[in-house]
Amino acid sequence: MKYKRILLKLSGEYLGGVAGKGFDFDIVNSLCKQITRISDLGIQVCVVLGGGNFFRGAQSIPIKIDRVSADQIGMMATAMNSLMIKETLISMGYQASVMTGLEIPAIGIKFDKTEALKLLSKNTIVLFAGGTGNPFFSTDTAAVLRGLEVEADIIIKGTKVDGVYNKDPMVDTNAVKYDQLSYSEVLEKDLKVMDSAAIALSRENNLPLCVLNISDEKSLFDFIDGKEIGTKVTK
């Protein structure tokens, strides 16, 4: 296989289905089936989930709240999502573990590169929760950081569309899809693939990205299988 270790990045809203809130258990089940299908190939899989299905930050609530506290609430939301996916994977007969950026011993073990690599070598699916453990950093940046730390071959960002477009394809039928982009093009065109810090970090370390439609149950497997789908972002 072209990839030996991947990191899958998903929004929390994806787990909430159409409503984008809480858990849509059909979506949760479908996602875990996609992950296990990749794991069955012998590919080591890490996952970073957002927390937007539970909390979208200080700007989404009608009271003033400290940014640090808001980000910490968001980190806890990612831990809830990671626990749900972990338990679903275990119920399917797979090994899964949660590692956290924050000290939450009842939820998962604190992130440690050596321990993460040990788990991955045993074909354990590892979910990285709690972002970077620090406020002011998005889960996009956390995904790239963890990907670099565990030496992932690629970051795969699952979205509701089949790649990156010059305009929102859900709104504009004339939107044009990109098959390939450079990190610099993403930043210059402000394409919102990931936040700018995540793209810059990927560029500095030459970590490839791919954006594909995770709602299509075949997309992840097809990409790993070598089919030309989604949008690839490289140097």
- Which CATH number covers residue 204? 3.40.1160.10
Helices (H), 6-98: 12-15, 25-39, 67-91
Number of domains in the chain: 1
* Domain span at 180: 5-234
pLDDT digits (tens, 9 = 90+) for 2-24: 999 999 999 999 999 999 999 99
Contact predicate 35/125, CB 8 Å: yes
Contact predicate 34/214, CB 8 Å: yes
State pTM to two decimals: 0.94
pLDDT digits (tens, 9 = 90+) for 28-65: 999 999 999 999 999 999 999 999 999 877 666 778 88
As given in the structure block, the two tokens for residue 142 are: 């956390």
Residue 144 backbone class (left: φ over 0; alpha: ψ -120 to 50; beta: rest): alpha
